[in-house]
Amino acid sequence: MPVITSIKPQKNQKRVNIYLDGKFSAKGGPASGWGFGLDLENFVKLGLKVGQNLTEEEVEKIIKKAELQKTLDKILRFATLRPRSEKEIKDWFKRKKVHETIHEELFDRLNRLELVDDEKFAKWWVEQRLQFRPKPKSIMYQELRIKGIKKEIIGEVLENTDVNEEKFAKDLLEKKKYKWKGLNKLIAKRKMSEFLARKGFDWDVIRKIIKSEEF
């Protein structure tokens, strides 16, 4: 039965290293006969002391708690930067190789803190697009679908968002106007129509813009 032979604070002062039988490893545990790292909160709650005997089952449970808290601290920093979608959190788990046994509990913690919300994420995404890189609703819809947002949520968010696609289309054409100077009027209009179609504008908007006096 492993015995705690030493407890030493880590450099960040927020965790401690628990030595079992005089040994420690960041990747240790009962299977390898080595100690493990533990956050201060769980250390205090568990009341661990030098000379205390632990069964292998107890060590496994403590390591799981430690891993959960360590991962939670990291994902909280990730999740609080801006609204996050469920898919983003799942992708983060994969990138960080978080063990599947703690996925559900981590999700529960984040949900209780209201840090995982597909609707908030969709609203944030649309706002960012309109402010920095305006795109038609059809393109934003496709982008959000790729990001794992449900159709119903996207539809509701876009329906309640004021997007002046005509102004956006005119601004785009104004920037590219030089490309069509000197061309036959019909050819120029065709090329402008094709350009806007590639950008994701529907034909109702395109026809209205192309028929306007400016072009």
Residues 36 and 124 in one domain: no
- 30 and 10 in one domain? yes
The predicted pLDDT at position 32 comes to: 45
In a domain, 215, yes or no: no
Residue with tokens 């806007």: 196
CATH number, domain containing residue 39: 1.10.10.10
Asked if residue 51 is part of any domain, the answer here is yes
State whether 67 and 36 are in the same domain. Answer: yes
Half-sphere exposure of 111 (CA within 13 A, CB side): 8
125 part of a folded domain? yes
Question: For residue 173, what are its two tokens?
Answer: 């054409």
Domain range enclosing 152:
118-159
pLDDT of residue 31: 44
- Give this prediction's pTM: 0.72
**Domain-embedded: residue 100:** yes
Last residue of a domain, one of 112, 128, 143: 112
In a shared domain, residues 67 and 139: no
Spatial distance between the Cα atoms of 7 and 5, rounded to a whole number of angstroms: 7
Domain count, the chain: 3
Same domain as 51, residue 28:
yes
Does one domain contain both 177 and 128?
Answer: no
Cα of first residue to Cα of last residue in the chain, in angstroms, is 84
Token reading at 65: 């708690």
Per-residue pLDDT 10s for the chain (215 aa) are 889 999 999 887 888 999 998 888 655 444 445 678 888 888 898 899 999 998 888 888 888 888 888 899 999 999 999 999 999 999 999 999 998 889 999 999 999 999 999 999 999 999 999 999 889 999 999 999 999 999 999 999 999 999 899 989 999 998 888 888 888 889 999 999 999 999 999 999 999 988 875 54
Same-domain check for residues 10 and 82: yes
Closest CA relative to residue 35, chosen from 71, 59, 53: 59
* Cβ-contact 194, 207 below 8 angstroms: no
Residues 188 and 125 in one domain: no
User: 3-state DSSP call for residue 146?
Assistant: helix
Residue 155 lies in a domain: yes
